[in-house]
Structure 1
Amino acid sequence: MILPVGEILFDHFPDGKRLGGAPFNFAAHLKAFGLPVTFITRVGMDDDGNAVLDALARRGFDIDIIQRDAHHATGRVTVSLDDHGVPEFTIVPDVAYDYLAYSDAVAAAVAQGPEMIYYGTLIQRSETASATVMKILENRPPSTRCFCDLNLRKNCYDQNSITKSLVHCDILKLSEAELSILKNQFNVQTVDKLFIDDLMHNFAIEWVSLTSGPRGSTLFTGDGVFSAEPSVSENVVDTVGAGDAYAAVLAAGYLRGWEPARILRRATRFAGALCGLSGAIPEDMVFYRPFLNWMNDGGES
């Protein structure tokens, strides 16, 4: 079982709203791949919250574990796109997921011994939700791997939340921009590879995945450094959720024991395919058909 923890929200685009949030996007992809996923989040007692529960139920999630908040609205983000389809986010503060609690249901899910826990920093912008995430990580069984996708959003992180996240991290995913932020946070001037080597050593991180947009991606492991060219697509609609799609395949590949080079090829291909859609999550499950064979280690790419 994979246990993603964090925000679910509605991304409000110029042409309407779509369900999003990095932990949900990650969870939805893995669920569509046929992997067992229990998603932990908190939504409001409002129309958006009801819509979230309906969407999760349609995708086969257990909604009994989803927390409801009578005093705070469901998460919301406004999204604007530049001429290249690259998003800019404005994240509404003080919403339901900021009050995620360590409930009996959450404790029971952790006690089941998930193979992997996924988390980021946005869910940790509040003291309440941050304490819940840390309690989940501290109470996990020793065999549970921790996947941290930093997803550093403006005004939604600090050095404390970053450091606490790294302490528990086995697999770290970050972008080039987030790598630069990390180097500034830790006041380090060294070249990227040496900084990543130090991160892996100081925090006992097993893998670091660095995504570089049009320059592809790199995976740093104890066995070496692996790189992949970006997926070439002439039909890019937007890049919303591409990193979450990449993260989902990275996690699946780690748990399935794929070779690093294969993981990179597959993660790149899947993220590239998603960029041909509008928004972060496919509405039609047919989208996943070309990729389902991967979960049984069939097919090469």
Structure 2
Amino acid sequence: MILGIGEILFDQYPEGNRLGGAPFNFAAHLKALGLPVTFVSRVGVDEEGDAILDALVRRGFDPGMIQRDPRHDTGRVTVTLDDDGIPQFTIVSDVAYDHLAYSDAVAAALAQGPDMIYYGTLIQRSHAASATVMKILENRSPSTRCFCDLNLRKGCYSQNSITRSLVHCDILKLSDGELSILKDLFNVRAADKLFIDDLMHNFAITWVSLTSGVMGSTLFTRNDVFFADPDEQDAVVDTVGAGDGYAAILAAGCLLGWQPARILQRAARFAGALCRIPGAIPEDSEFYRPFLGWMNDGGER
């Protein structure tokens, strides 16, 4: 079982709202691909919260893992796209997911011994939710792998929250922009690979996945470095959520034992397919049909 922790919210576009939040996007892709996923979050007692619960039920999630907050609104983000389809986010603060609690349902899910726990930094921007995430990570089974997708958003992280996340991390995913932010925060001027080598050594990280947009992606392991070109971008609609899709395939490949080079190729292909549809997650389950076979072939094709 994969335990995803974090924000679920509405991305507010000029043309309407779309369900989103990096942890939810990640969990929704894995669920649609047939992997067992439990998703933990918190929403308001409002129309948006009701709509989120309905959407989760339709996608096969347990709504009992979603906490309701009577005092804080459901999370939301305003999104605008530039001429290249690159999103600009404005994230509303002090919303329901900022008050995520360590509930009996969370403890029960953790007691099942998940194979992987996914988390990021946005859910840790508040003291309350950060404490909950840390309690989950500190009480996990020793065999549970921790997947940290930093997803650094302006004003929603600190050096402290990043360091706490890295302490528990087995698999780290970050973009080249986030790598630059880390180097600045830690006041490092070394070459990227040397900095990543130091991160892996100092925090006992097994894999570091670095995405670089049109320049492709790289996977650093303890013993080797793997590179993949990006998927062909022949008809980009928008890039919202492409990184979350990439992370989902990276996690699936890790859990299913695919070879690293195959993981990168498939993650790039999946992320590229997402860039050709509007929004972060597809409404039509047919989107996933070309990728379902990956889940059973051992990563050999």
- Same fold flag (TM > 0.5): yes
Q: Deviations over 1:180-224 (max 9, x none)?
A: 000011000000000000000000000000000000000000120
* Structure-1 residue corresponding to 2:263: 263
C-alpha separation in 1, matches of 2:6 and 2:298: 31
* Structure-2 residue corresponding to 1:147: 147
Give the aligned residue type for 2:214.
P
Q: Deviations over 1:17-64 (max 9, x none)?
A: 100000000000000000000000000000000000000000000111
Instruction: Say whether 1:131 aligns with 2:92.
Output: no
* Structure-1 residue corresponding to 2:254: 254
State the Cα distance separating 1:167 from its structure 2 match: 0.1
C-alpha separation in 1, matches of 2:246 and 2:112: 26
Show the 5 A alignment for 1:132-211: 132-211=132-211
State the Cα distance separating 1:233 from its structure 2 match: 2.4
State the Cα distance separating 1:15 from its structure 2 match: 1.0
State the Cα distance separating 1:300 from its structure 2 match: 5.2
TM-score normalized with structure 1 length: 0.99
Instruction: Say whether 1:18 aligns with 2:18.
Output: yes
In structure 2, the residue corresponding to 1:189 is in which secondary structure? Answer: coil
* Structure-1 residue corresponding to 2:8: 8
Q: Deviations over 1:99-154 (max 9, x none)?
A: 00000110110111000000000000000000000000000000000000000000
Give the aligned residue type for 2:265.
R
- Segments of 4+ moved more than 2 angstroms: 298-301
* Structure-2 residue corresponding to 1:116: 116
Show the 5 A alignment for 1:48-87: 48-87=48-87
In structure 1, the residue corresponding to 2:277 is in which secondary structure? Answer: coil
**Alpha carbons 1:293, 1:299 under 8 Å: kept:** no
In structure 1, the residue corresponding to 2:147 is in which secondary structure? Answer: strand
State the Cα distance separating 1:297 from its structure 2 match: 1.6
**Alpha carbons 2:28, 2:59 under 8 Å: kept:** yes
Number of matched residues? Answer: 301
TM-score normalized with structure 2 length: 0.99
In structure 2, the residue corresponding to 1:94 is in which secondary structure? Answer: coil
* Structure-2 residue corresponding to 1:40: 40
In structure 2, the residue corresponding to 1:146 is in which secondary structure? Answer: strand
* Structure-1 residue corresponding to 2:98: 98
* Structure-1 residue corresponding to 2:235: 235
Structure 1, unpaired ranges of 5+: none
Give the aligned residue type for 1:275.
C
C-alpha separation in 2, matches of 1:299 and 1:167: 30
Q: Cα RMSD between the aligned structures? A: 0.8
C-alpha separation in 2, matches of 1:109 and 1:300: 32
Structure 2, unpaired ranges of 5+: none
